[in-house]
Structure 1
Amino acid sequence: MGRRWIRWSHKRGMRSSVVAFIFLASVFLKLCFGIGSYSGENTPPMYGDYEAQRHWMEITVHLPIHQWYSYDLQYWGLDYPPLTAYVSWICGFVANLINPTWVALDSSRGIETDSSKFFMRVSVVVFDALIYIPAVLIFSRTWFGARSKRTQDLAFLLLILFPALFLVDFGHFQYNSIMLGFTIMALNFFATEHDLLGAVSFVLSLGFKQMALYYAPAIGSYLVAKCILSGPTDGGRLFIRLGFVTVATFMSLFLPWIPPFSASPTLIIDPISRIFPFARGLFEDKVANFWCASNVIIKWKKWAAQEMLVKAAAILTFLGFLPSVIVMGKVAWDLKVWNKSPEQKLVETKDDPKPEESSSHTPILPLLPYALLNSSMSFFLFSFQVHEKTILLPLMPLMLLFSGATPGSEVYQWGALGSNVAVFSMWPLLQKDGLSLPYFALVFLWNRVVGYDPIGIIYTAFPFKSFVHLMSAGVYAAIIFLHFSEQIISPPDRYPDLFPVLNVLVSTPVFVCLWLWSIKCCVQVSWALTGPSGFEEADGQPQHRKHLSIAVNDASQMRTSFVAKSDRTRAVSLGPAQGKRVRRSSTRSAAGTGSSTALPSSSSVFRGTIDSSVMEGRAAASPK
């Protein structure tokens, strides 16, 4: 439906107003979600996340900074990094100007007037419009720059209708779009070679919610790999600059708790101890990760001490994201050119029509979205003290990949399955918050907009086309069965959490498969960049200039050659595009004559790897 509407709008001369209409429609939907229930509504004495966010506005407005992380910790003590506190102060300051009773110290606890709820809902929409929406708009224009305007608008639409984010931020009530927006903006800066600004943006994401650490291994390994590519001199200089910018940004966020700006040098312990609450235990609610799923058989909290569980979680998490870090480093080392002889460099660039542009964009950039998915999913599955809402973090890179995927492709199928199962994994939380109707309505709307039919997949399970197709059919059948069973069957007294546990057992295998799939994609993209057998081919000469593009017959087979249009494969690219796109007429001409068509100038396509699972391209030529 979304694709057809965008096509209809463009054909009728309304292409310039598509973005504005999508933005206004999304704001309308978010305000509609605000009419419904939220976390902790009418449930004293602690209420829920809604009251936590409001309470932080209350204490940041009325208390000095050094008391923010120590005031009445038993009642929703502040446990997020300083940028969250600063945003709470801004909201509290505005609320205090409009109606001081909304944020009156202590006496406003549990306030649920219509006017205060409207203000709280609007505050989420405003910050979403200021940070997340510009970030995804720039992403659609930067990362899909070589694609058509329709594809860019469709990607923007799909990222705006991020269903899990809708339900958590505008239903359950949180401000996750700020954290995700800063991370996406960091990716935009990396794609345009503004690495220092990208580092600042990611630190701001970390400074808003510590959960952004889920992305740290991927982004850290990418920046280190960028330094390796740049060589000892330029790379060393870049490394020093990145370190300085990162430390300076962190210090500016924590400045009020650092001497000489704080009254005591020990005050910095307050925010640090609140940000990393290891005392809470391995997990609280039922979460679709490794620990909760395996806890059905192995009672971890009974058989292992907490210190041991912390170490085990750290080791498993490290092993989970290690493959993407290794792949990123290996590709950077294989593609380095700073230690090659002039003769080797001449061989590499002799076929490049504009060698001076060949290094304008980082060739390892295509690995970054998959590395983000691998890293964040590893944290979600294996790390300590995970909440069901943190599935938003692995979903973000998956939705970035999905937004440019061709319908029916492997990325499209994994993205749709991952999004639907992620929303389903939050069903116990959403049901408790009174968000059952928004849950079903948004799932139906999103699948309709993206052109995905879960029911149809069940009917066409056999003969199955791929593993993800077969798995999707089984998972959707299980989800429908559990939803109906929950309405007609009461869980036995001995197993009151029967349905939440079954939810975990259905969702966790999907997330494990997504984690494994992200590793597979990292390896495939690395093969496309350097070749599966290494950097050098049989003649011993470096060949990475021949790997400027990838075409794939399907997501499980990648090869470093151009593909004829008759193959129905779509080349895609990662990185910012400059100049004009390749005309379809030239593509048809090359395919029709059977002649070999050289890759257009590096200004007309994304430099680096081209991967059909991420976005479509326009360049095509005869098979290898």
Structure 2
Amino acid sequence: MFGSKNILKETQINRDEEVSPVVSRDNVVLKVFLLITCIKILLIPTYHSTDFEVHRNWLAITYSLPVKEWYTNKQSPWTLDYPPLFAWFEYCLSQLAVFFDPEMVKVENLNYASSATVHFQRATVIFTDLILAYGVREISGTFCKSLNGYAVFVFLSLCNMGLLIVDHIHFQYNGFLLGILLISMSKVSKIGKEMSVLQGAMWFIILLNLKHLYVYIAPAYIIWLLKSYCLNSGKFFKRLCTLGFIVLAVLTASFGPFVTQLPQVISRLFPFKRGLVHSYWAANGWALYIGAEKVLSVIWKHLGWLKDTKSAVMTGGLVQEQSFLILPTPTPLVTFLLTFLAILPALWCLLCKESYVNSKNFIRCIVLCALSSFMFGWHVHEKAILTAVMPLCVLAAINKEDARIFIILSSAGHTALLPLLYPNNLFSLKLLLLLTYMLSSILVLTKQHLRPLLRLHEWLYIIPLPLITFYEVVLHKLLFSDKLPFLPLAFTSIYCAIGITYCWILYYYIYLQNNACTDNRIESNLRCQRLKAKQS
């Protein structure tokens, strides 16, 4: 049987591990969740982005229009472009919204933001974060055997500053989606428990039908379920058919009512004409690529080889198709091939190497798939970094190398999110959130693993990150006044992209060098150190 030895290890609890009572664990989740909820409530009056109007408009579309017009209505520029299950989610919210302010669910009321509307929509994000809290509870119970590790993970995930910025200031619903992801990862990681694995598979298909961009990590699920669930059972075809039935059932329930308008739905879900990058570049490989294009275009112009650089300067802040003058212009097909090639080694190890058949390497494979798609995907949003950061939280609490990557990745990724909060009066809040989460993460993870985690060059990289935000908001205007208005955003994206690229390469190296024994040896050493510390 493939991976049989490692599967047996996965189903055993090491006697030396410090297992804490369920009541104590629930108290930790409850207290942290209530604390962070109070902070979220305080953030209700803050600035919100156009995404607020996007979701308000989706409430109106799903409440006021028949189902056949949900994906065809163009009265607002913010058309419905999420999968059908998310449309039904908005429909359910709209049934409550009408009692708070009937005007918010009228399609013709564009850019409507009454006080009742603001409070209702903010409250829905806070309330749905209960699913995130449940997901944190579930996955931490699967992976964190000590109360210390459990508490560290709960803090890193529930207090994640990226979610605070994106969901509770900028405005989106990433928290409950990531909660479903955590629930799914927890359940499919329970090798040997068939019903749990099937429930996890169902949760992931539901997630894909809520937000289709999680398809980038679907290959990790496919390989993991094939290897750990189907191939090791002696009932390959039966189990494969069961998984197929779950997928088809959820897809039918989701897309069934829209079967006559599937081309329109698909075109909304995959709008390739939006261009390679978003208006504010995600801190990924394409930010570095465009930065290189800009530098080369300036050199070419200085040498007289290029007369006009306007179309080469990808800093206009517009969502559109772009053309390069010096470097080859990437196409959607090229980005797809690069993403596929980038995730292939991680998938191959999970499928073909027996030592990789353990749930921790499954989580690492998910992180690598998320990072690879973030690095090379088409029209990637800066917020997509959270898909890699959140699953990494649980491993950071129990493994020092994962903790090392987490500190750098979260610091760079969260810094890259801060320009989303562009009003100047939010500068102090941005800096406070960044410094608080960075320092807290470093302190709790260093204490958890009883050793310094970062190398000298890594310290030299993350220490200037708050200064990047200071330059973006304050220093650039002092130096350049109104000139080069997009330079601070480009500089932020490129600097953060260097750190994220470094994490992607280093994490791949660690993953490819990893085996099942490494984790066991590290955890054993860590337990011995804790016992010595208690005795002293």
Partner amino acid for 2:353? V
Number of the residue aligned with 2:521: 551
User: 2:132–2:178: 8 Å Cα contact kept in structure 1?
Assistant: yes
Q: Which deviates the most, 280-289 or 298-307?
A: 298-307
Aligned to 1:142, what secondary structure does the other structure show? helix
Partner amino acid for 2:124? S
How far off its partner does 1:394 sit? 1.5
Number of the residue aligned with 1:111: 112
Number of the residue aligned with 1:483: 470
Number of the residue aligned with 2:15: none
Number of the residue aligned with 2:206: 204
Match of 1:283 among 277, 293, 307: 277
Mapped partners of 1:215, 1:434: distance in 2: 37
Mapped partners of 1:304, 1:272: distance in 2: 33
Residue 133 in structure 1 maps to residue 133 in structure 2 = yes
Number of the residue aligned with 2:300: none
Mapped partners of 2:526, 2:199: distance in 1: 39
Number of the residue aligned with 2:497: 508
Number of the residue aligned with 1:216: 218
Number of the residue aligned with 1:520: 509
Closer, same or farther: CA 430–485 of 1 in aligned 2, 3 Å: closer
Matches within 5 A, 1:367-406: 367-405=361-399
Partner amino acid for 1:38? H
How far off its partner does 1:150 sit? 3.9
Number of the residue aligned with 2:305: none
Aligned to 1:288, what secondary structure does the other structure show? coil
Number of the residue aligned with 2:289: 294
Aligned to 1:301, what secondary structure does the other structure show? coil
Closer, same or farther: CA 143–564 of 1 in aligned 2, 3 Å: closer
Larger Rg computed on CA atoms: 1
Q: Write the deviation string for residues 85-135 of structure 1: whole angstroms up to 9, x where unpaired.
A: 1111111110112321222231x3222222211111001111111x11111
Matches within 5 A, 1:282-431: 282-285=276-279, 286-298=281-293, 299=312, 301-303=323-325, 309-332=331-354, 363-405=357-399, 409-431=400-422
Closer, same or farther: CA 315–502 of 1 in aligned 2, 3 Å: same
Mapped partners of 2:526, 2:288: distance in 1: 46
Residue 269 in structure 1 maps to residue 239 in structure 2 = no
Number of the residue aligned with 1:163: 161
How far off its partner does 1:410 sit? 3.1
Number of the residue aligned with 2:150: 152
User: 1:186–1:201: 8 Å Cα contact kept in structure 2?
Assistant: yes
Aligned to 1:426, what secondary structure does the other structure show? helix
User: 1:413–1:468: 8 Å Cα contact kept in structure 2?
Assistant: no
Partner amino acid for 1:430? L
Q: Where does the alignment leave 5 or more consecutive residues of structure 1 unmatched?
A: 1-9, 40-47, 259-264, 336-362, 455-464, 530-546, 554-561, 571-583, 589-624
Number of the residue aligned with 2:59: 57
Mapped partners of 2:469, 2:60: distance in 1: 41
How far off its partner does 1:512 sit? 1.1
Mapped partners of 1:20, 1:327: distance in 2: 38
How far off its partner does 1:393 sit? 1.2
Mapped partners of 1:158, 1:453: distance in 2: 9
Number of the residue aligned with 1:254: 255
User: 2:52–2:172: 8 Å Cα contact kept in structure 1?
Assistant: yes
How far off its partner does 1:143 sit? 1.7
User: 1:414–1:468: 8 Å Cα contact kept in structure 2?
Assistant: no
Closer, same or farther: CA 410–71 of 1 in aligned 2, 3 Å: same
Partner amino acid for 1:276? F
Partner amino acid for 1:141? G
Mapped partners of 2:503, 2:422: distance in 1: 25
Q: Which deviates the most, 294-303 or 240-249?
A: 294-303
Aligned to 2:78, what secondary structure does the other structure show? coil
How far off its partner does 1:37 sit? 1.0
User: 1:227–1:236: 8 Å Cα contact kept in structure 2?
Assistant: no
Aligned to 1:274, what secondary structure does the other structure show? helix
Mapped partners of 1:27, 1:117: distance in 2: 17
Q: Which deviates the most, 195-204 or 511-520?
A: 511-520
Partner amino acid for 1:288? A
Q: Where does the alignment leave 5 or more consecutive residues of structure 2 unmatched?
A: 1-19, 294-311, 313-321, 446-451
Q: What is the TM-score when the length of structure 1 is the normalising length?
A: 0.70
Partner amino acid for 1:122? A
How far off its partner does 1:479 sit? 4.4
How far off its partner does 1:35 sit? 2.1
Larger helix percent: 2
User: 2:100–2:120: 8 Å Cα contact kept in structure 1?
Assistant: no
Matches within 5 A, 1:556-575: 568=529
Number of the residue aligned with 1:474: 461
Aligned to 2:380, what secondary structure does the other structure show? coil
Mapped partners of 1:207, 1:304: distance in 2: 40
Match of 2:436 among 445, 454, 458: 445
Q: CA RMSD in A?
A: 3.1
User: 1:178–1:208: 8 Å Cα contact kept in structure 2?
Assistant: no
Task: Quote the sequence identity (%).
Answer: 23
How far off its partner does 1:323 sit? 1.1
User: 2:283–2:496: 8 Å Cα contact kept in structure 1?
Assistant: yes
How far off its partner does 1:481 sit? 5.5
How far off its partner does 1:318 sit? 0.8
User: 2:408–2:458: 8 Å Cα contact kept in structure 1?
Assistant: no
Closer, same or farther: CA 319–432 of 1 in aligned 2, 3 Å: farther
Number of the residue aligned with 1:19: 29
Aligned to 2:369, what secondary structure does the other structure show? helix
Mapped partners of 1:308, 1:499: distance in 2: 24
Closer, same or farther: CA 451–172 of 1 in aligned 2, 3 Å: same
Residue 36 in structure 1 maps to residue 58 in structure 2 = no
Closer, same or farther: CA 302–19 of 1 in aligned 2, 3 Å: closer
Closer, same or farther: CA 32–214 of 1 in aligned 2, 3 Å: farther
User: 1:373–1:518: 8 Å Cα contact kept in structure 2?
Assistant: no
Q: What is the TM-score when the length of structure 2 is the normalising length?
A: 0.81
Mapped partners of 1:167, 1:230: distance in 2: 43
Partner amino acid for 2:458? M
User: 1:139–1:188: 8 Å Cα contact kept in structure 2?
Assistant: yes
Mapped partners of 2:326, 2:85: distance in 1: 36
Closer, same or farther: CA 470–94 of 1 in aligned 2, 3 Å: same
Partner amino acid for 1:124? V
User: 2:346–2:365: 8 Å Cα contact kept in structure 1?
Assistant: yes
Number of the residue aligned with 1:90: 92
Number of the residue aligned with 2:484: 495
